[in-house]
Amino acid sequence: MSAPLRGPDLPAMPPAFHELAERVNNWGRWGADDELGTLNLITDEVVRAAAATVRTGRRVPLALPLRHDGVQAGLIPGRVNPLHTMVQINQRLFGPGTVATSDDAVTMGLQAATHWDALPHVSHSGLLYNGRPADSVTAHEGARFSGIEKIPHVVSRGVLLDVARAHGLDRLPGDHAVTPEDLALAAEFGGVTVRAGDVVLIRTGQVRLYLAGDKNAYAMPSPGLSCRTPEWFHARDVAAVANDTLTFEIFPPEIENLWLPVHALHLVEMGMLQGQNWNLEELSTACGEERRHSFLLVAMPEPFTGATGTPVAPVAVF
């Protein structure tokens, strides 16, 4: 594909960003109408091979509890922790003598807890993945293109790159930008080779701060992906990436005034789902015990129509 179109009248991204973008851009790779991006890389064959890795039947859930005292500390306007309310409690809706029912309702930010970012969660230069206009996201419809309901399934081989453990740490320091070299080290540590269609989970250990009760420390400073990593994922045709931080990428950012470059590279340029606030602690232990860092991973989006993100309850099966 030729150089991607850029919207008018918007501040330009810096040259450093464009160099990275050109090397990872997937626009048009799966057709001009594609809304799935790198999830196209999860073929039936990939799924078959992923299921074939199951040996013990051990299951590890990766979602944090959805509760009012969740990971959000108020930094991002509108990204509210779940407010769970009971709308019925042991109510005999049909009169006396019958069984009683309890019902719940919730209000929450779709990106508040363990979640997937959908591709239109981020735009840059006025554009979304595959060159769609950013203003196709509206209050009325949400995202017209690549809304999370368009993602039919995320079932693939999961690979844990346990960067913290590979460095002999429980948790990376807050200013640690995870580099391609870190990813290679963690792959070697786990004895695993990243393949096309894999969902890669990157453990920094940062979520331990939240689990220990300090949601402000968890928020930032935070270790996270360097803007050099998208190219690493691109070279290996990774289908999706998730980690155990609030910000996903190193925060505050590496390059002054270039905010969220990894988001822009993954979601806009590559069309790759990314996940945040995944709890990889039990998984790290399990990988150690099972002596392997790959597994069947199922991480189904809730199909909110037009949504730019979704809570997800992923599970790894060994």
Instruction: Output the six-digit token pair for 268.
Output: 């806009």
Q: How far is the CB of 252 from its own copies (least distance, A)?
A: 10
Sites for its own copies among residues 142-201 (CB under 8 A): 142-143, 149, 152-153, 155
Residue among 19, 90, 168, 213 that touches its own copies (CB under 8 A): 90
Q: How far apart are CA 71 and CA 311, in angstroms?
A: 13
| E strand or H helix at 236 | helix 229-236
Residue among 15, 19, 48, 291 that touches its own copies (CB under 8 A): 48
Count other Cβ atoms within 10 Å, centred on residue 199: 27
Q: How far is the CB of 175 from its own copies (least distance, A)?
A: 18
Query: Can residue 110 be called a binding residue for its own copies (CB under 8 A)?
Result: yes
Q: How far apart are CA 203 and CA 179, in angstroms?
A: 13
> Which residue has tokens 């693939």?
156
Residue among 1, 22, 23, 107 that touches its own copies (CB under 8 A): 107
Count Cβ atoms within 10 A of the Cβ of residue 289 and give its class: 0-12 exposed, 13-18 middle, 19 or more buried: exposed
Which is nearer to its own copies, 12 or 188 (by Cβ)? Answer: 12
Q: Helix (H, G, I), strand (E, B), or coil: what is residue 158? A: strand
Which is nearer to its own copies, 9 or 33 (by Cβ)? Answer: 9
Sites for its own copies among residues 256-315 (CB under 8 A): 257-261, 263-264, 268, 296, 298, 300-309, 311, 313-315
* 270: DSSP letter: I
How remote is the C-alpha of 264 from its chain's centroid?
13
Query: Can residue 94 be called a binding residue for its own copies (CB under 8 A)?
Result: yes
Count Cβ atoms within 10 A of the Cβ of residue 302 and give its class: 0-12 exposed, 13-18 middle, 19 or more buried: middle
Q: How far apart are CA 28 and CA 31, in angstroms?
A: 5
Which is nearer to its own copies, 65 or 191 (by Cβ)? Answer: 65
Which is nearer to its own copies, 96 or 168 (by Cβ)? Answer: 96
Residue among 5, 83, 211, 235 that touches its own copies (CB under 8 A): 83
Q: How far is the CB of 90 from its own copies (least distance, A)?
A: 5
Residue among 87, 168, 213, 291 that touches its own copies (CB under 8 A): 87
Sites for its own copies among residues 61-80 (CB under 8 A): 61, 63-68, 76-80
